[in-house]
Structure 1
Amino acid sequence: MSDFTPVFATRNASWPPKRHEARSSVRKSRQRSPQITGHIAEDDNGRHYLSSHATLPLMIATSCLVKPQNGDLVCAVLHQHQIFVTAILQRQHSDAALVLSSGTVPMHLSTPALEIHSSERVEIHTSRFSLRAKTSLWISRTLHQVADALFVRAKHAHRQVENTDEVQARHISQQAEQSLIINSRIGSLNASAVLKIDGGQVHMG
């Protein structure tokens, strides 16, 4: 009896936890938020809602970065009397722009390498733009810079122009603390009103 009793107790002791786990799993499955599908609609006030649940507020899940548009077929979760869009299954217009939106929180991308390829154009609209890099390379056939004020500060500057370097301004002022050297095979200096040359020593010829 001493050898038989522990075996009998061990076999029967495993059954209540299994029944309890089964009841717990059933209870959890019933408490899961149901998944629903439907189309995004918009009322006269610009409020978006799910066509199958028009009275419930519509929210965008944090993991759904693609912003749904009117008429899109989406997958959503019903939780605490709110609709959370989790994924976009089909776009109403296949050629509609793909909009990534993180709401009111910042979006950060962390990767060892990032490439953006666009056959037509790349546009960035922002109130402030900053670029910090050890090495920056710009290659373009035509480069236009338009600004109210342009400030460039560098320890060393080198510019090489193959053909013509033309500067147009109302006033041009250049200051050199040590020396100013201008070399040319043919030189011309014209002034329609007054031409003044002043120096401690002036050497001509």
Structure 2
Amino acid sequence: MQVHDLQRLRVPATAPAHQGSAIVRELREQSIALSEEPDGEAWIARRAASCLLAPEVGDRVWFVVEAGAPGQQRCFVTAVLEREGDAAARLDVAGAPELRIEATRLTLRAEAQLELQADELRARGRLARVVLDECSSVLRTLFTHASKVTVVGKVVETLADRISQHSKISQRSVEQIDQVKAGTIDYRATCSAQIGAEHALVTGAELVKIDGGQIHLG
């Protein structure tokens, strides 16, 4: 075989890498349409995994085009540089199955409002402290399991259609007045019932009945 019989290998031309700033012209389902100037070169890009701030139409972004054969280059938006107006900033990692933020100490601070929304919300810690000036809760079902519960307040009000309590021992201590207003009051004890006071009054508008195997007065 002679040297002149060998065919020259043709290596396809490779376009160099390119990067710069551009304006977001259109947001598509899986891509972003960019152009460097109103009449400049246009690009169809994808958002890089490191670009957590989701681009919006009109944003100036930084993009990178990989080196490769013409028609096979991939373009990525790596950062949002500028945003005009007061559009909301949205961190988006929807493509990731899970997001973890790990730090020795983490602080979330909002001047006006902080909102947490999820199908399931979990919180776990050794110690929790909550300080609120005012709190409103709307719950469909509440189940609480605690070894000890202590409530300290000046005024406690409970409004409910039905209240059921079950306990082995129930004890209350009222320093001044304990008042109950009800349509019907029914107290029953399986062992004994005792009412003691310096002055005890029982008044019935129509009937007062005392029934027992033995009745002791005085």
Which of the five TM-score ranges fits, normalised by the shorter chain? 0.7 to 0.9
Separation in structure 2 between the aligned mates of residue 46 and residue 76 of structure 1, nearest angstrom:
16
Cα gap change, 1:46/1:138 in structure 2, threshold over 3 Å: closer, same or farther?
A: same
Cα gap change, 1:99/1:150 in structure 2, threshold over 3 Å: closer, same or farther?
A: same
Deviation at 1:85, TM superposition (A): 0.5
Separation in structure 2 between the aligned mates of residue 81 and residue 31 of structure 1, nearest angstrom:
8
Tell me the TM-score normalized by structure 1: 0.75
What letter is aligned with 1:41?
R
What RMSD, in angstroms, separates the aligned Cα atoms of the two structures? 2.3
Tell me what 2:90 maps to.
Answer: 99
Tell me what 1:172 maps to.
Answer: 163
Structure 1 residues 38-187: aligned runs within 5 Å: 38-42=22-26, 48-52=32-36, 53-54=41-42, 56-79=43-66, 80-93=72-85, 95-105=86-96, 106-162=98-154, 164-177=155-168, 179-184=169-174, 185-187=176-178
Cα gap change, 1:159/1:131 in structure 2, threshold over 3 Å: closer, same or farther?
A: same
Structure 1 unmatched ranges of 5 or more:
1-29
What letter is aligned with 2:24?
I
Deviation at 1:149, TM superposition (A): 0.6
Deviation at 1:81, TM superposition (A): 2.9
Deviation at 1:44, TM superposition (A): 9.0
Give the alignment partner of residue 189 of structure 1, picking from 163, 180, 186: 180
1:134 is paired with a residue whose SS is: coil
Separation in structure 2 between the aligned mates of residue 142 and residue 174 of structure 1, nearest angstrom:
27
Tell me what 2:20 maps to.
Answer: 36
Q: How many residues align?
A: 171
Deviation at 1:31, TM superposition (A): 6.7
What letter is aligned with 1:69?
E
1:57 is paired with a residue whose SS is: strand
Identity %: 23
Deviation at 1:72, TM superposition (A): 0.9
Structure 2 unmatched ranges of 5 or more:
1-13, 67-71, 197-218
1:59 is paired with a residue whose SS is: strand
Tell me what 2:200 maps to.
Answer: none
Deviation at 1:74, TM superposition (A): 1.2
1:50 is paired with a residue whose SS is: strand
Higher helix share: 1
Deviation at 1:86, TM superposition (A): 1.1
1:67-122 deviation digits (Å, cap 9, x = unpaired): 111011111111333320012222133x2222212232122111100112222111
Separation in structure 2 between the aligned mates of residue 114 and residue 66 of structure 1, nearest angstrom:
20
Cα gap change, 1:45/1:186 in structure 2, threshold over 3 Å: closer, same or farther?
A: closer
1:28-73 deviation digits (Å, cap 9, x = unpaired): xx8752113211011798963112554x532011111111110111
Contact 2:32 2:46 in 1 (8 A): no
